[in-house]
Structure 1
Amino acid sequence: MKMLHTSMREINLRKLDLNLLVALDVLLTMEEVSAAAAKMCLTQSAMSHTLQRLREHFDDPLLVKGKGRMVKTPRAEALAAPLRRALLELQHAIQCDVEFVPATSRHCFHIATNDYGDWTLMPQLMARLAEQAPHVDVKISHFDPENSIVPLESGSIELVFCHPVKHAVGIQQETLFEEDFCCATRAQHPRIGRHLDLDTYLAQSHLRIAPRGGQRDLIDKTLARLGKQRRIALSTPNLSSAPVLLTNSDLVLTAPRRCVQAWQKLLPISLHEPPVALPGFTIAMIWHERFEHDPANLWLRAQMREICHLASNPAAPVLPTRAKADAPRPARLAK
């Protein structure tokens, strides 16, 4: 009986159209028939018919009406991630020998980063694309540190720029550079001259970037170890709003140096060395092993190495841009 059951399941799988699995992946992602139909360039009626065929094959409703939207059944929840991984593996297997030609490619890179990456990496990358790959597009997603691995595992994100993440099976990481902190104020701050000492620093009102809420950051913890405390006049989760807030107030912000240097190109902002020693942090690029040998991803990673190399060493010669060039690379993070 077991052999007969297995044989019947194999026959059913052979009879299942691959296009139905592609449609199921889109339906489970969108959780809406009309949106899935638009994604696949089908009519809503055709997509409804496809959903019915899938329900018959899996003997499960798959998507049912919920509050304001459709929701996945437990069977669909169990199918969603493995199906997505399988389709991506198949796609990359088919495309593995396809050469990436930057000048003519119409690829769209799906990248995840945060406000820091938006300021320090994306402008240089977009300038590089405009020069070398004018038809290539980029879609940036917000990087969620609490859910960092999931979009990499699913393949919905090709490359992440952020702090290193916890090690996980299939995840590759490579250091791009080390970052440190400086202090930023508006250019004509009335109480801060060329040198910012600790007493002057503590006497000011401060702007704090707190993306995860109100917990103390490393600056407050460093001050606390010295028995000191600063006044946080404004706390915001958004680094992107900081330069405008600084130029319209007398607030002091302790922020990543590369961000402040980027703001100085646009607004009258002064950079000061911090009055206390602060630990820095690492910025890495992170990808899933399925993209390890993907020609487009190899090219993108090579561009980011060169961009960061030039930013850290302005007088250094340009590195070769070929993905497999014998150029010195930042260290891979230990697995």
Structure 2
Amino acid sequence: MDLKQLDLNLLLVFNQLLAERSVSGAARALGLSQPAVSNALARLRKAMGDELFLRTSRGMEPTPRATQLAEPVAAALQLLQGALRQDQGFDPATSSRAFTIGMTDIGEIYFLPGLMEALAEVAPGVTVSTVRNTAVQLKDEMESGHVDLALGLLPQLRTGFFQRRLFTQHYVCLMRQGHPLDKRRIGLREFSAAEHLAVVSAGTGHGVVEDELARQGIERRVRLTVPHFVALGHILAGTDMIATVPERLAQRMAGPFGLRWLAHPAPLPEIGIHLLWHARLHREPANQWLRQLIATRFGDG
């Protein structure tokens, strides 16, 4: 079909329906009535010669044709929106912008205290929400503009994304102060014989380290396995278990939980932690500002 035959406002409705999977939800988000959105969808279906969305028990599911259109339509709308915002600039001191950042629980422990402190100083009206990198379709959420930035080791974000390395992660052994292995250095035999707390975090940098320990044939007496790092400090502080963790996480946890970290006895790879964003937000003033703030606060230079 020819673009001049299509009301471009219909693409806004299409993009919102993809995000909400609900006519009523799209209507609320767009500030329209439900009949207006239903009418727009009917016009879209006629113009495209496709149902585009089908009612299911899970909501309005896109057809293959709608899925095919999703990325180019979202990219075009974001490009137009970015162009319209270019001359507006971004004033952090007066902004009430809400940002969404993808990160792991390690990221929340390491980044959020410093980030929120910085925002309180220079952008008191700005708010932040986080989503787990592995709990959402991060690539799709960033392409659609629902997630502004992501932090971590995220090899799935390649085509269409920019990245900036913040620092390199080293891995260490973490344990309570006074632990039998609390000394200057531990060997592989002592490491293997100890009781371990293992964090299974597939799809993250830590998952790579776990795989490397297995590849080297290093056996451990794993007493407890958990899917995240949130409770790590509490558990290690009250037991004789040890854990393999990123050094910067160990630094954050050592003081509050009375822990100590030592050099790891195994030759483990270093993991690069990156700041990532979608190409369509590359020149968006608010996104540029937040990227620079994070890089200045946490980057190694």
TM-score range, shorter chain: 0.7 to 0.9
Residues 1:56 and 1:246: Cα distance change in structure 2 (over 3 Å): same
In the aligned structure 2, how far is the partner of 1:105 from the partner of 1:32? 30
Partner residue in 1 for 2:89? 99
Partner residue in 2 for 1:207? 197
Q: 1:205-262, CA deviations, whole angstroms, 9 ceiling, x for partnerless residues?
A: 101111129x98535744764x642111122221222222222322110100111111
Partner residue in 2 for 1:275? 265
Residues 1:105 and 1:31: Cα distance change in structure 2 (over 3 Å): same
Which one-letter code corresponds to 1:257 in the other structure?
Answer: E
* C-alpha displacement of 1:283: 0.8
Partner residue in 1 for 2:46? 56
Q: For 1:1-335, list aligned pairs within 5 A.
A: 9-13=2-6, 16=7, 18-144=8-134, 149-163=139-153, 165=155, 168-189=158-179, 191-198=180-187, 199-212=189-202, 218=209, 221-222=212-213, 225=216, 228-309=218-299, 330=301
Secondary structure (helix, strand or coil) at the match of 2:84 reads helix
Which one-letter code corresponds to 1:56 in the other structure?
Answer: K
In the aligned structure 1, how far is the partner of 2:274 from the partner of 2:263? 24
* TM-score normalised by the chain length of structure 1: 0.79
In the aligned structure 2, how far is the partner of 1:99 from the partner of 1:237? 41
Which one-letter code corresponds to 2:79 in the other structure?
Answer: E
Residues 1:56 and 1:264: Cα distance change in structure 2 (over 3 Å): same
Which one-letter code corresponds to 1:23 in the other structure?
Answer: V
* C-alpha displacement of 1:49: 3.1
Residues 1:106 and 1:216: Cα distance change in structure 2 (over 3 Å): closer
Between stretches 191-200 and 280-289, larger displacement belongs to 191-200
- Give yes or no for contact 1:211–1:237 (8 Å, CA) kept in 2: yes
In the aligned structure 2, how far is the partner of 1:115 from the partner of 1:103? 28
Q: Which has the larger radius of gyration?
A: 1
- Give yes or no for contact 1:220–1:229 (8 Å, CA) kept in 2: no
In the aligned structure 2, how far is the partner of 1:67 from the partner of 1:146? 20
Q: 1:256-275, CA deviations, whole angstroms, 9 ceiling, x for partnerless residues?
A: 01111111242222222223
In the aligned structure 2, how far is the partner of 1:296 from the partner of 1:118? 21
Residues 1:185 and 1:128: Cα distance change in structure 2 (over 3 Å): same
Between stretches 45-54 and 123-132, larger displacement belongs to 45-54
Between stretches 108-117 and 164-173, larger displacement belongs to 164-173
Which one-letter code corresponds to 2:19 in the other structure?
Answer: T
Secondary structure (helix, strand or coil) at the match of 1:239 reads coil
Which one-letter code corresponds to 1:197 in the other structure?
Answer: I
* C-alpha displacement of 1:41: 3.0
Residues 1:304 and 1:87: Cα distance change in structure 2 (over 3 Å): same
Q: 1:280-333, CA deviations, whole angstroms, 9 ceiling, x for partnerless residues?
A: 211111122322222212211221122124xx6xxxxxxxxxxxxxxxxx4xxx
In the aligned structure 2, how far is the partner of 1:37 from the partner of 1:143? 28
* C-alpha displacement of 1:10: 4.5
Partner residue in 2 for 1:320? none
Partner residue in 2 for 1:317? none
Residues 1:162 and 1:140: Cα distance change in structure 2 (over 3 Å): same
- Give yes or no for contact 2:51–2:63 (8 Å, CA) kept in 1: yes
* C-alpha displacement of 1:171: 2.2
